[in-house]
Amino acid sequence: MTPRPRPLYVGSPDTEDVLVAELRRRGDAVVVAPGFVQSALRADPVFARCVLPRPIRVQADSAAELAAALLALEPAASFAPERIHVFAPELPRSGSADKGAHPLARDAESLANTLRKKAEGRRAKGKAGPPTAHTLRVALVGPRTALASVDLDAGGAAPDALVAWPGPFAGGRAVAVEHARDAPSSAHRKLHEAFAWLGTGPAEGDVAVDLGAAPGGWTRVLRDAGARVVAVDRGALDEGLQRDPQVTWLRRDALDVDLAALQPTWVVCDVIWAPARTLEVVARAVAVDSVKAIVATLKLVRPVDFDALDDAVGLATGSVGFAGRVKHLVANKLEVTLLMRRG
């Protein structure tokens, strides 16, 4: 009997050591390529962007042959275009600069387009059944070499389904908006990415409390979405935001704010605090009935305090009435984002 392949967890090369340590706390972990860690553990690691539950290596002599081989992995499945995820490996950071595109990024995009067209052609010719819950995940690690896996999304019936992994993005990388109107900082990228993971964002009629708002990167995103914002920070808020009639600046410590009195629908927090203080504020937000979503950044240092990380996961996933998770996002450095949505 052929042993079932072990899951392959995909993360950032910059935090590969942390992903390995996180997995080794409960099982084994072996680095097979920069940012790719294999383990027998079936879980939702914080420092993994996504997972290939049953990975196999696929090689071919041409792009067309590679596409055909990938589609043959599950002949009975009819892949919907949005369930074909192809991605190139992630590059490490170079100082404070943004990560550039991987040399294989264009090849990955081309392969994804080819796979989608072939899948649609199969369906048009009646050679495929109705769309299934299967997702084809492909990491292009060479011009004609891929690590691929066919799996079921959350709620599927497969015995090896990772129910904590809806995996809506190729490579687990949400496409973040790279620009926010008059953004006073680049921190807005983290919040845009968090909205993508939550599957929702604030809108007209929402009241958002931005804890640790200065200089106003997240406040600008919230205002652009239509929310009224209470920006809390002892530091100076961007002058343009100070003049915005829909922004109230509270110049005080974030821990001194009575969230229940403000009745927010969104609470976001990007304060440089120890994780325990951030989790204290998140717990307060969970207790406010008006709050429907929470985004909070947990700042970390090496060696990572995994007990604090466990506390964050427990709060995100165990709070009554909320669905949540904790993830290391593309825009994060050595920090993670706690994502929670009521219901």
C-alpha to C-alpha distances, 285 to 91, 182, 331, nearest whole angstrom = 36, 29, 24
- pLDDT score of 97: 58
Active site residue 117: no
Sign of CA dihedral 85, 88, 94, 98: negative
What class does CATH assign to 8-172?
alpha beta
What stretches of 54-206 adopt beta strand conformation (E)?
A: 56-59, 84-87, 134-142, 145-152
* 267 beta partners: 209, 294
Q: 141 by DSSP, 3-state: which?
A: strand
Position 334 confidence tier, pLDDT thresholds 50, 70, 90: very high
Q: 316 by DSSP, 3-state: which?
A: helix
Q: What is the mean pLDDT of the chain?
A: 88
Task: Work out the average pLDDT over 201-205.
Answer: 96
Instruction: Please state, as a whole number, how many other Cβ atoms lie within 10 Å of the Cβ of residue 274.
Output: 15
Position 99 confidence tier, pLDDT thresholds 50, 70, 90: low
Q: What element of type H or E holds 139?
A: strand 134-142
- pLDDT score of 5: 80
Q: 111 by DSSP, 3-state: which?
A: helix
Two structure tokens written together for 180: 């926010």
Amino acid (1-letter code) at residue 157: A
- pLDDT score of 161: 33
- pLDDT score of 73: 85
Please tell me which residue in 99, 118, 125, 299 is annotated as part of the active site.
Answer: 299
Q: What is the pLDDT of residues 44-87, one digit of tens each?
A: 899 999 999 889 999 999 999 999 999 888 765 677 788 899 99
- pLDDT score of 175: 72
Start-end of CATH 3.30.2130 domains in the chain:
8-172
Comparing 176 with 329, the larger pLDDT belongs to: 329
- pLDDT score of 80: 79
Position 219 confidence tier, pLDDT thresholds 50, 70, 90: very high
CATH code linked to domain 188-342: 3.40.50.150
- pLDDT score of 177: 56
pLDDT at 121 over 80: yes
Comparing 76 with 228, the larger pLDDT belongs to: 228
Task: Work out the average pLDDT over 91-96.
Answer: 76
Start-end of CATH 3.40.50.150 domains in the chain:
188-342
Question: pTM for this structure?
Answer: 0.90
Q: What is the pLDDT of residues 150-183, one digit of tens each?
A: 875 544 433 333 334 446 789 989 875 555 556 6
